[in-house]
Chain A
Amino acid sequence: MNQEELKQRLQPLVANYLHAQAAVVPALHSLLETREPIDNDAIAVIAELCEVDARSIAELVAYYPIFQNGHSSHTEVCFGLPCYLNGAKEVFEQMKAQPNGNGSSKPVNVSSCLGHCYAAPVIRLEDGSLCRALVSKSNNQAEAVHG
């Protein structure tokens, strides 16, 4: 999408707000949703429409991890306290030990609370789905095995 097209797309969204600045974050979300690159050109368009300095939008984009790994392809193990208390560390170590297709170990990250502490320990799979993950000691107990 070139700058002009982007401008046309975002204009109605910005018009919703009494102060154009209030549309900065909704405009960025709109780009994230359609996986549009948030590069200098996009930032320039948002800056113009929302009447803010492009540098401050660039700072915002650099500050929030959502713009770096909004669509993380790694499994994440929640290390919030309820999950930690219920064995998140073991889940993390087990998941890391599982071999990847190419023989190397799996890329697994830790995350802050995933918002389902009643199901601790909680993980987020590569496809974004959330699961309760338990380390079971025998294979035949397993209902679904993350491989």
Chain B
Amino acid sequence: MTGQIRLERISNNEFRPHVHAGPLIESLLSDAVGSFDDYVRRGGYDVVRRLAQSSDREEAIQMLEEAGLRGRAGGGYPTAHKWWLVSRQEEEEKYFICNANAGHAGGFKERYLLNANPRRIVEAVVTGALVAGARTAFIALPPQFSAEALLLEDAIAEATAAGFIGPDLQVVVYRTLGSYIIGEETALMELIEGKIGRPRAKPPLPTARGVFNKPTAVSNLETLLHAHYILKHGAQNFRQKGQPQAPGTLVFSLSGHVKRPGLYELPLGTTLREIIFDHGEGLLDDRPLKAVFPGGLSSPVLGPESVDVALDFDSLREIDSDLGSGSVIVVTEPTCMVQVAAQVNDFFYYGSCGKCQPCKDGTQRTSVMLHNLERLDEKSIDRAGKVLPPSLRKRTLNVINNPMAGVSYTDTAEGLDKIRHLSEFYKYRGDCHHSTEAANSIQNLLKLFKQEFEDHRSNSVCQHEGLVTV
């Protein structure tokens, strides 16, 4: 094909995501325009005023508990409990972090939320810091969000000038140095302390010993906005949407092979079918559905038979998957799932920070095997292309002792078990969940698309048409 590349610029807003607003986004947009005085007149900083007047934080925590708010970053941890754990500590020096990092493929809500109403973001951060009793709050952003950082800094300056941010609270916009793993809360804490951002082994948990060893509450950007919404509009209002065990809405990022990708704020418990076919307007070119990553690459893949699953924390866990942060990536026929698996595993390999050898080395070996699946039966295939001839090996102690320099971990297994067994080995051998997510992801792909992997391995040919081009 002698094609031309047609470009549509995103940078100057020629191309924007489709947005379906629910209560949170509507509330954000309701007072996004106008001066700071207009913002305050419409009820801005009312929540902060109320909190500042009362020294009792229990009421706010109780309200969040009644609302049943669970963290939107993927863990589903109760926000009220997390903030309470920090608020009850006697220490003077405590921290609050708004985690607005965005690094995983398929997730694109953070930029939209940050731009929708920077004043509200700052108000929500001040609210969280007050409830947790923190003296310093960081809004952590990836480095490419420089325009958003400026908007937030302006909003902080306005709130400080108006006295809503007092001398006993500092709010800092903190741009990270990039990388996917920096979104992990303890990696972020290391970076804030001026060190390379690699996750810490746990315990201790950040609520006990976080930034500079002080109690620290970390909440995802969207969680924080929901928390502020609850304190502004009430727990019952929040509970009107969603499920009893998973109340409220979630901003889903829908991408992949759908007709209308975009951001959809929908009640937790909305089914995959509804989001793909009703909201996303169906599958690209009406091709059959093949697979869905319901919560980004870290959430184990689902097949078409799961299309009626409710998208909430517990329903997805029941079928061994995960809601993640709601990044739904849709795959249709005739996409080759072996190529998808290789792509997904490459993400885990490149995303690994390298602190724990089983994670970095294991995901690398898995990638080598996936990219060479038709050669899987060869001896030491996990080290394909990595074994240097003896003449080229450096005779240093470091290299002689380096287990990466040629030892195969898969020669005792056969066929696809080489990948299964290796991933089982690194699954729980990491200081953070990255290695677990990597192993779960590949194990699930192998389980669900076993025949396709076997065909690739034994016939050395792809039975599918490969990846679909637009």
Q: Contact mask B1-26 → A, CB, 8 Å, 1/0? A: 10111111111100101100000000
Q: Are A144 and B7 neighbours in the complex by a CB distance under 8 Å? A: yes
Closest A-chain residue to B470, C-beta based? Answer: A87
Q: Name the interface size band of chain B.
A: 35 or more
Most buried by B among A57, A82, A115, A120: A82
Q: Is the CB of A80 within 8 A of B5?
A: no
B343 within 8 A of A: yes
A85-101 interface mask toward B, CB cutoff 8 Å, 1 = contact, 0 = none? 11101110011001000
Q: How far is the CA of A28 from the CA of B327 in the complex (A)?
A: 32
Give the size of the chain A interface in residues (CB under 8 angstroms). 67
Residues of B contacting A121 with CB < 8 Å? Answer: 470
What is the minimal beta-carbon distance from B262 to any residue of chain A, in angstroms? 5
Q: Chain A residues with Cβ under 8 A from B11's Cβ?
A: 128-131
Q: Is B172 a contact of A134 with CB atoms below 8 Å?
A: no
Within 8 A of A (CB), among B307-352: 327, 329, 331, 335, 340, 343-344, 347, 350-351
Is A87's CB under 8 angstroms from B6's CB? Answer: no
Asked if B469 lies at the interface with its beta carbon under 8 angstroms from chain A, I say yes
A18 to chain B, nearest CB (A): 6
Contact of A137 among B1, B256, B350 (CB under 8 A): B1
A24 to B194, CA, bound (A): 5
Is the Cβ of B7 less than 8 Å from the Cβ of A113? Answer: no
Contact A85 B194 (CB under 8 A): no
Establish whether residues A87 and B9, one from each chain, have CB atoms under 8 Å apart when the complex forms: no
Which residues of A from 53 to 97 have beta carbons under 8 Å from B?
56-57, 59-60, 63-67, 79-87, 89-91, 94-95
Contact with B along A42-59 (1 / 0, CB 8 A): 000000001010001101
- A144 contacts B17, C-beta separation under 8 Å: no
- Select one of A18, A26, A131, A134 contacting B10, CB under 8 A: A131
Could you tell me if B262 and A118 are in contact, using CB atoms closer than 8 angstroms?
Answer: yes
Using Cβ atoms and an 8 Å threshold, which residues of chain A touch B142? 115
Chain B residues with Cβ below 8 Å from A85 are: 256-257, 329, 331, 335, 340, 467-468
Partner of A115, one of B144, B172, B254, B335: B144
The answer for the CA separation of A87 and B107 in the assembled complex, in Å, is 18
Interchain CB contact under 8 A, A87 and B467 = yes
For residue B343, which residues in chain A have a CB less than 8 angstroms away from its CB?
A: 79, 81, 84
| CB–CB B3/A136 < 8 A | yes
CA distance A116 to B7 in the complex (A): 14
Asked if A136 and B10 sit within 8 Å, CB to CB, the answer is no
Q: In the complex, what residues of A have CB within 8 A of residue B103's CB?
A: 112-113
Residues in B whose Cβ lies below 8 Å from that of A118: 17-18, 108, 253-255, 261-263
Query: Which residue of chain B has the shortest Cβ distance to A113 in the bound complex?
Result: B105
Decide yes or no whether A9 CB sits under 8 A from chain B. no
| A30 vs B254: C-alpha distance when bound (angstroms) | 35
Whether A90 contacts B192 by the Cβ 8 Å rule is no
Which of the residues A64, A116, A135 comes within 8 Å of B179, measured between beta carbons? A64
Write the B254-296 contact mask toward A (1 if CB under 8 angstroms, else 0).
Answer: 1111000111000000000000000000000000000001000
A60 and B195 CA atoms in complex are apart in Å by: 7
Docked CA distance A135–B469 (Å): 8
- For A29, A85, A89, the residue with the greatest tally of chain B CB atoms inside 10 Å of its CB is A85
- Residues of the B chain whose Cβ atoms lie less than 8 Å from the Cβ of A86: 256-257, 468-470
| CB neighbours of A119 from chain B (8 A) | 8, 10, 15, 17
Given A80-B106, A117-B253, A142-B4, decide whether A52 and B194 contact each other with a Cβ distance below 8 A: yes
**Does A139 touch B at the CB level, under 8 Å?**
yes
Q: A115-B102, A146-B5 are in contact. Are A60 and B10 (CB under 8 A)?
A: no
Q: Is B196 an interface residue (CB 8 A)?
A: yes
User: Is A35 interfacial (CB 8 A cutoff)?
Assistant: no
With a CB–CB cut-off of 8 A, which chain B residues contact A94?
A: 3-5
Q: Given that A112-B105, A129-B11 are known contacts, is A134 also in contact with B470, CB under 8 Å in the complex?
A: yes
Cβ of B177 under 8 Å from chain A: yes
- Give A87 to B3 CA distance when docked, in angstroms: 13
Q: Are B7 and A131 in contact (CB under 8 A)?
A: yes
A-B residue pairs in contact (CB < 8 Å), sample of 5: A57-B194, A64-B178, A90-B1, A98-B5, A143-B6
Q: Can you add 15 more A-B contacts, CB < 8 Å, to A16-B172, A28-B177, A112-B105?
A: A19-B193, A19-B212, A21-B212, A29-B175, A57-B194, A60-B195, A64-B196, A80-B347, A81-B340, A112-B351, A120-B255, A121-B470, A133-B7, A145-B5, A145-B6
Q: Which 7 A-B pairs have the closest CB atoms?
A: A80-B105, A24-B194, A82-B255, A135-B3, A113-B105, A21-B194, A87-B469
